[in-house]
Amino acid sequence: MKPNRRPWPSEPPLEQAVEPLEHPLLPSRRWTDRAWRLLALPMLFFFALPVLMLFTRTSPAQLLDSLRTSPVQMAVLVSLKTTLISLLVILFLGTPLAYLMGRSKFRGKRLVDALIDLPTILPPSVAGVALLLTFGRRGLLGGWFEEMGLQIAFTQIAVVMAQVFIAAPFYVRSAALGFQAVDVEVEEAAQLDGANRWQLFQQVILPLARPALLSGSMLSWARALGEFGATILFAGNLPGRTQTMPTAIYLGFEVDVQIAITLSVILILVSLILLLLVKAVIARGEES
Amino acid sequence: MSLIRLLLLALLLVACAPASTLAPAPDETITLTVFAASSLSVPFEQVGAQFEQEHPGVSVTFNFAGSQQLAQQIAQGAPADLFASASQTYMDQAVQDGHVTAGGWLIFARNQLVAIYNLEKPLSSLDLQALSQPGLRLVLAAPEVPVGQYTQAFLEQAVLNPAYGAVFRDGLLANVASYEDNVKVVLAKVVLGEADAGIVYVSDLSGENAGVLGQIAIPPELNVTASYPIAVLSDSPYHDLAQALVDYILSPDGQAILSSYGFLPPVP
């Protein structure tokens, strides 16, 4: 014990607040730490075990073998193509909304806020039905598109729409927080230096919000890769066109479990890498 | 903190409540769980209701899905008393997995394929050839689903038939917009008008869709007959009761319900 420590229960002086609080009558700090770790284990175990099981059921050689089969390749390609397009759409359409949410106050903002969160908690199958009723052939807008010669249902456009609907909120939320965090004083200083509105956005706000935009877009991408329920309902399932990795996993599971396992392992690896990148970007943003 | 206390209090109250107020004496009702092919959903609900009436204290619950999915679920140990499959393949799989005794199944109904189309979409002609004409949006069941397998078998028969040939099959397959994972989804997509046409079971045509759907019969020489096997699962705790339900399905009453939905009797 350090000599200058005041006896419990008075508060330790501010400069010492970070030091562990120890007292002979209290259980030691190390003991409680250990207890917390022990208590945290079951949840962690529950997350990790199913993921690990997937890896035990396949070997790298098997993985490469089924990667060479055409159903797996087609699903991977469809997933890559559609999710990258989805990501672009989310960036283009989501950024203005995020800017609005992060930088202005208006009537009904809370309602808009709830609306943005809605797709993340809706069952994706509900989203699929809703999209079908809107953009399906007999839907509100779908019939109109059809007349113009643009078919949506059963095409990759439908896959992209389902992914954007489900995944965009992750980007919008994160980007709005990023825009919100840009200091008003920095902004005013830039304006005093003669920056116009566009320069202000492009050269001051955007760089400052970049970590949030980056991590948000990676989260969105990961979520789009995993989108299943809305896709199978709204876009259907045609290998090479609308069959994404998650739909191939679902149907593959019923016939060829190896296909399902291979695709699952790929999805888990990609998602894990994306999430680690997100964490790294956020950590770097906090440091600077 | 107060919220947590409230929750704990609620939990305590629930835990102390006399058991009778929570569950109405569970030993009085027996629940039979039936895993059945999607195509059986409508007639089986009716069969279940009738059986419940004749057996007070018994409740019949259903899990309807593609037979391939049900076989997978049974293989993974899902608790079920009966399995009614739309295809022998998946019954054989259940036998192989040891959940049905060898020869412990029997055929209780048969079914055939029919092409359906949405009446708002004019077809080029009112025969099967229309399905292979370009510009038609067709949905089929995935090859994993029994009805999808029967559809493939029908197409192979058509290839051998000079009136249709490989041109017919290839044209039809080129029109496929989606392979759905059970027959009811194929039906729904055509009813909704998302697809122009599809291939389903005769039993899927019901009165309520008559105003929306048109049908094109598949000629007998090309059509494929689906046989539906049913079996009591070996780990069922209510073996006798489950067998009674099978007997009811095979009885004239049960068969009448099935045939009213377009199913064929088990023996031609």
Domains B16-110+227-260 and B112-225 share a fold: yes
Nearest-neighbour CA in chain A from B174: distance (Å): 11
Angle CA A189–A195–A199, to nearest 5: 120
Structure tokens at A270: 């990609």
- Is the model's pLDDT at A193 over the cut of 80? yes
| pLDDT (0 to 100) of residue B231 | 96
Whether the link from the prior residue into A9 is cis, omega within 30° of 0, is yes
Residue range A220-230: mean pLDDT, rounded? 92
Q: CB of A109 within 8 Å of any CB in chain B? A: no
pLDDT reading at A2 higher than 50: no
Which residue bears the tokens 């479990």? A257
Q: Looking at residue B50, what is its pLDDT?
A: 94
User: What pLDDT was estimated at residue B4?
Assistant: 59
The predicted structure's pLDDT at residue A257:
73
Q: Determine the pLDDT at residue B211.
A: 84
Structural domain boundaries in chain B: 16-110+227-260, 112-225
Contact B194 A239 (CB under 8 A): no
Q: What is the DSSP string of B149-163?
A: HHHHHHHHHHHHSTT
Instruction: Give the orientation angle of helix B88-96 with respect to helix B146-160, to 10 degrees.
Output: 130
pLDDT digits (tens, 9 = 90+) for B131-175: 999 989 999 999 888 899 999 999 999 999 999 999 999 999 999
Fold for B112-225, please state it: D-Maltodextrin-Binding Protein; domain 2 (3.40.190)
Tell me: pLDDT of A285 over 60: yes
Backbone angles phi, psi at B201, to 5 degrees: -85, 150
Give tens-digit pLDDT for B7-48.
555 555 455 444 444 444 445 788 999 999 988 998 999 999
Best residue in B69, B178, B185 for a mutation probing chain A (most A CBs within 10 Å): B178
Contact across the interface for B179 and A132, Cβ inside 8 Å = no
Class of residue A145 by CB neighbours under 10 A (exposed 0-12, middle 13-18, buried 19+): middle
CATH number of B16-110+227-260: 3.40.190.10
Instruction: Using an 8 Å CB-CB cutoff, list residues of chain B that contact chain A.
Output: 66, 68-69, 72, 137, 139, 142, 144, 176-181, 189, 192-195
pLDDT at res. A59: 83
**B98: closest CA among B60, B132, B71?**
B71
Residue of chain B whose alpha carbon sits nearest to that of A135: B194
Which pLDDT score, from 0 to 100, does residue A63 have?
Answer: 83
CA distance A171 to A103: 16
Q: Is the pLDDT of residue A138 over 90?
A: no
- Inter-chain touch A232–B179, beta carbons under 8 Å: no
> What confidence score (pLDDT) does residue B5 get?
64
A162 C-beta neighbours (distance < 10 Å), count: 30
User: Do A254 and B139 count as a contact with CB atoms less than 8 A apart?
Assistant: no
Yes or no: say if B42 and B206 are a contact pair by the CB < 8 Å rule: yes
For A223-236, b where at least 16 C-beta lie within 10 A, e where not — what string?
A: bbbbbbbbbbbbbb
The residue of chain A with its CA nearest to that of B67 is: A254
In the numeric block, which tokens belong to residue A200?
């202000």
Q: Which of A154, A251, A254 sits opposite B177 (nearest CB)?
A: A154
